[in-house]
Copies of this chain bind each other. A is one copy, B any other.
Amino acid sequence: MGLTKTVGFTKTQLELAAFAKALGHPARIAILQFLSTQKGCVCGDIVNELPLSQSTVSQHLKELKNVGLIKGDVEGPSICYCIHEKNWEKVKNSLGDLFRNFDPNYCC
């Protein structure tokens, strides 16, 4: 089908999966790494950082924006993208929770 079932999962599971999905591409990882270490806000020179065409990068940016990991402010003719602080914290914590509750002693 190619369509993910949503019924039967918790809101947390769906949300975390959505965020993880957005992280599930090297280009989007690279974008986030770039944005998170950049001093000041960066615009479309993200395109120059990546081995992909402008339109493809734009698509990845859109996905990151849709899921809420980044936001974009219009700045003259160009657009300034940056990490969406609030959601960034949210994902950080959700992922933290997932990886925290694991006691190695119980494993085979």
A contact set with B: CB distance below 8 Å = 4-10, 13-14, 16-18, 20-30, 32-33, 36-41, 50-52, 73, 80, 82-83, 85, 88, 91-92, 95, 98-99, 101-102, 104, 106-108
In Å, the complex CA distance between A28 and B99 comes to 14
Q: Is there an interface contact between B101 and A36, defined as CB atoms closer than 8 Å?
A: yes
In Å, the complex CA distance between A14 and B30 comes to 9
Can you give 28 contacting A-B residue pairs, CB < 8 Å? Answer: A4-B25, A5-B52, A8-B50, A9-B26, A9-B29, A10-B30, A13-B33, A16-B29, A17-B23, A17-B25, A17-B26, A17-B28, A18-B24, A20-B21, A21-B21, A21-B24, A23-B24, A29-B98, A32-B98, A36-B101, A37-B102, A73-B108, A80-B108, A82-B106, A82-B107, A83-B102, A83-B104, A91-B99
